[in-house]
């Protein structure tokens, strides 16, 4: 056998081990497999590469991607990542650790998850948070199931049409197989219509588990959720708010809107775009719903010597104990990404988060106003926004997108209505915005 750096066995090791087992060859260990199932052919894989060859291969691949300056959000936001974060999260004690079931040798993981839970509670205003989930859209789908499990004999969940399309799609997928009926709440003037909600509530009457509504919607509009929680609670239904946790540092919290559950994607908290993952979903709720909250939860207790210690707790809710009766089949969390978020929020602090939102607001509003000035876009909604907005294009969208892309920009994402969506985070500079505007002025004909 040729040496391979991930296999430490020498020929002598293998011989000694076979002797102890009492077989003549490694192949003999597969004698219980029907012979025609043993794969005898060459695997259709590339030849093994050296590390340098692998490196060259991927450098080559990655250079085929265009690195564009990002003026799009739609669920993935190009915020700045402090250098401390990858340094901490790449520590092998964190990244190569297993799930913290053996709490005595996992206090590092358990402590940062406890800190993460505290920060998510703080941002959402709610009482309890789980240890994180896969991503925002799946967290929203989990909230759908959680509401159905929490409200007796309920079968229907109301979903706002102003949620991002991928969030709606994942909710629909989960609902279809779980047997939940989804009713869409209409939008009016770019916002979730309270009137539509109340009219569904009065016609459906029984069996409504709750509603999922965004705090910032797919048009970038900050929604006014006054009256939503009251309408739902009057019918014993729950309110889930889908939110951007970065914006929650300044915007009204789900708890302040009267929500029972908050979910969303914590990617905007310093996680790189990374072509869509790994991100991290978050989920928090009021304490009366704790037992239906899916996923892992870390709790504080004491060890045998009375010292503060942390454990995975309330596990009796989870799939490995409840099996088919669990509200969710989720077994893991996105631990390392929760660490990413925790380190980010530690560095930013309350002042940094405020400053960041301020910068997003300034950049996005500057971009918005400059785009209007080009005469090639029109306002669609008169509505408050933070970092993302849509405009009606007065130019050909394909040409616009192509010109921007050719000049190194990713911007003007087309929405289902034919509007174009823009986003500017604190990471965008005035020069970048001016240069984007310059290209539109010069190269895109009205």
* Size of the residue set binding another protein (CB under 8 A): 201
Distance CA 435, CA 123 (A): 35
Q: Residue 183 CB, nearest distance to another protein (Å)?
A: 19
User: Which residue in the set 123, 341, 367, 437 belongs to the binding site for another protein (CB under 8 A)?
Assistant: 123
Q: Which stretch binds another protein (CB under 8 A): 204-212, 227-235, 315-323, 374-382?
A: 315-323
Binding residues among 165-184 for another protein as defined by CB under 8 A: 166-167, 169-170, 172-174, 177-179
> Residues 271, 81: contact at Cβ < 8 Å?
yes
Q: What are phi and psi of 7, to 5 degrees?
A: -115, 110
Longest distance between any two alpha carbons in the chain, whole Å? 83
Angle between helices 430-443 and 397-406 (to 10 degrees): 130
User: Which residue in the set 198, 322, 397, 415 belongs to the binding site for another protein (CB under 8 A)?
Assistant: 322
Q: Which stretch binds another protein (CB under 8 A): 127-135, 200-208, 368-376, 434-442?
A: 127-135
Q: Residue 368 CB, nearest distance to another protein (Å)?
A: 12
Please say which residue, 219 or 296, places its beta carbon nearer to another protein.
296
Please say which residue, 164 or 380, places its beta carbon nearer to another protein.
164
CB-side exposure of 376: number of CA atoms within 13 Å?
Answer: 20
Please say which residue, 152 or 203, places its beta carbon nearer to another protein.
152
Q: Is 353 in the site for another protein (CB under 8 A)?
A: yes
User: Which residue in the set 189, 230, 256, 445 belongs to the binding site for another protein (CB under 8 A)?
Assistant: 256
Helix/strand/coil (H/E/C) assignment for every residue in 117-167: HHHHHHHHCCCEECCCECCHHHHHHHHHHHHHHHCCCCCEEEEECCCCHHH
Report the 10 Å Cβ neighbour count for 155: 14
Q: Residue 321 CB, nearest distance to another protein (Å)?
A: 5
Please say which residue, 200 or 214, places its beta carbon nearer to another protein.
214
> Residues 116, 249: contact at Cβ < 8 Å?
no
Q: Residue 435 CB, nearest distance to another protein (Å)?
A: 18
Give the C-alpha distances (Å, rounded to integers) separating 11 from 1, 17, 30, 99, 234.
Answer: 7, 10, 19, 34, 73
Q: Residue 118 CB, nearest distance to another protein (Å)?
A: 4
Q: What are phi and psi of 312, to 5 degrees?
A: -75, 130
CB-side exposure of 273: number of CA atoms within 13 Å?
Answer: 18
Angle between helices 335-373 and 430-443 (to 10 degrees): 50
Please say which residue, 106 or 200, places its beta carbon nearer to another protein.
106
Q: Which stretch binds another protein (CB under 8 A): 185-193, 196-204, 360-368, 438-446?
A: 360-368
Binding residues among 281-310 for another protein as defined by CB under 8 A: 290-291, 296-305, 307-310
User: Which residue in the set 244, 260, 334, 432 belongs to the binding site for another protein (CB under 8 A)?
Assistant: 334
Q: Which helix (H) or strand (E) holds 362?
A: helix 335-373
Q: Is 258 in the site for another protein (CB under 8 A)?
A: no
Assigned token pair, 13: 């090791």
Q: Cα–chain-centroid distance for residue 129?
A: 15
Q: Residue 203 CB, nearest distance to another protein (Å)?
A: 25
Please say which residue, 71 or 377, places its beta carbon nearer to another protein.
71
Binding residues among 59-88 for another protein as defined by CB under 8 A: 59, 61-68, 70, 72, 74-76, 78, 80, 82, 84, 86-88
Give the C-alpha distances (Å, rounded to integers) separating 104 from 89, 95, 308, 311.
Answer: 21, 18, 12, 9
Binding residues among 184-243 for another protein as defined by CB under 8 A: 222, 224, 226
Assigned token pair, 79: 């915020």
Angle between helices 136-150 and 165-178 (to 10 degrees): 40
Binding residues among 377-436 for another protein as defined by CB under 8 A: 384, 386, 401, 405, 410, 413, 426
Binding residues among 261-280 for another protein as defined by CB under 8 A: 265, 272-280
Give the C-alpha distances (Å, rounded to integers) separating 149 from 144, 146, 326, 422.
Answer: 9, 5, 10, 38
Assigned token pair, 39: 């794969």
User: Which residue in the set 361, 377, 389, 419 belongs to the binding site for another protein (CB under 8 A)?
Assistant: 361
DSSP 326: S
Binding residues among 20-39 for another protein as defined by CB under 8 A: 20-23, 26-27, 29-34, 37-39
Q: Which stretch binds another protein (CB under 8 A): 94-102, 192-200, 206-214, 374-382?
A: 94-102
Q: Is 114 in the site for another protein (CB under 8 A)?
A: yes
Distance CA 228, CA 193 (A): 10
User: Which residue in the set 209, 357, 377, 391 belongs to the binding site for another protein (CB under 8 A)?
Assistant: 357
Q: Residue 426 CB, nearest distance to another protein (Å)?
A: 6
């Amino acid at each position: 056998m040729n040496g391979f750096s991930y296999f430490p066995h020498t020929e002598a090791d293998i011989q000694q081990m076979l002797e102890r087992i009492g077989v003549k060859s490694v192949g003999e260990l597969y004698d219980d497999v029907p012979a025609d199932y043993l794969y005898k052919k060459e695997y259709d894989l590339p030849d093994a590469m050296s590390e340098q060859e692998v490196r060259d291969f991927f450098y080559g691949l990655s250079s085929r991607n265009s690195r564009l300056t990002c003026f799009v959000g739609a669920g993935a936001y190009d915020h700045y990542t402090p250098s401390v974060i990858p340094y901490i999260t790449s520590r092998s004690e964190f990244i190569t650790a297993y799930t913290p079931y053996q709490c005595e040798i996992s206090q590092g993981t358990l402590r940062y998850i406890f800190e993460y839970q505290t920060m998510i509670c703080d941002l959402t205003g709610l009482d309890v948070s789980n240890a994180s989930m896969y991503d925002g859209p799946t967290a929203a789908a989990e909230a759908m199931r959680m509401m159905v499990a929490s409200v007796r004999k309920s079968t229907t969940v109301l979903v706002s049409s102003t949620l991002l399309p991928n969030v709606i799609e994942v909710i629909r997928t989960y609902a279809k197989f779980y047997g939940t009926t989804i009713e869409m709440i209409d939008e009016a003037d770019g916002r979730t219509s309270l009137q539509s909600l109340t009219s569904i509530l009065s016609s459906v009457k029984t069996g409504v588990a709750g509603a999922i509504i965004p705090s910032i919607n797919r048009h970038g509009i900050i929604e006014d959720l006054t009256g939503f929680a009251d309408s739902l609670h009057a019918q014993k239904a729950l309110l889930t708010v889908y939110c951007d946790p970065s914006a929650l540092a300044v915007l009204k919290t789900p708890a302040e809107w009267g929500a029972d559950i908050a979910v969303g994607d914590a990617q905007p908290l310093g996680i790189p775009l990374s072509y869509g993952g790994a991100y991290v979903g978050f989920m928090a709720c009021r304490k009366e719903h704790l037992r239906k909250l899916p996923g892992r939860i870390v709790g504080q207790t004491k060890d045998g010597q009375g010292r503060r210690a942390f454990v995975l707790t309330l596990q009796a809710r989870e799939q490995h104990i409840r099996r088919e009766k669990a509200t969710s089949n989720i077994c893991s969390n996105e631990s390392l990404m929760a660490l990413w978020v925790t380190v980010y929020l530690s560095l930013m602090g309350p002042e940094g988060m405020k400053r960041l939102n301020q910068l997003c607001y300034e950049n996005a509003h500057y971009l918005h106003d400059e785009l209007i000035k080009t005469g090639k876009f029109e306002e669609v909604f008169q509505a408050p926004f933070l970092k993302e907005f849509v405009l009606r294009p007065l130019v050909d969208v394909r040409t616009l997108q192509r010109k921007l892309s050719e000049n190194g920009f990713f911007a003007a994402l087309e929405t289902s209505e034919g509007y174009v969506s823009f986003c500017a985070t604190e990471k965008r500079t005035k020069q970048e915005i001016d240069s984007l505007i310059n290209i539109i002025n010069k190269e895109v004909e009205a």
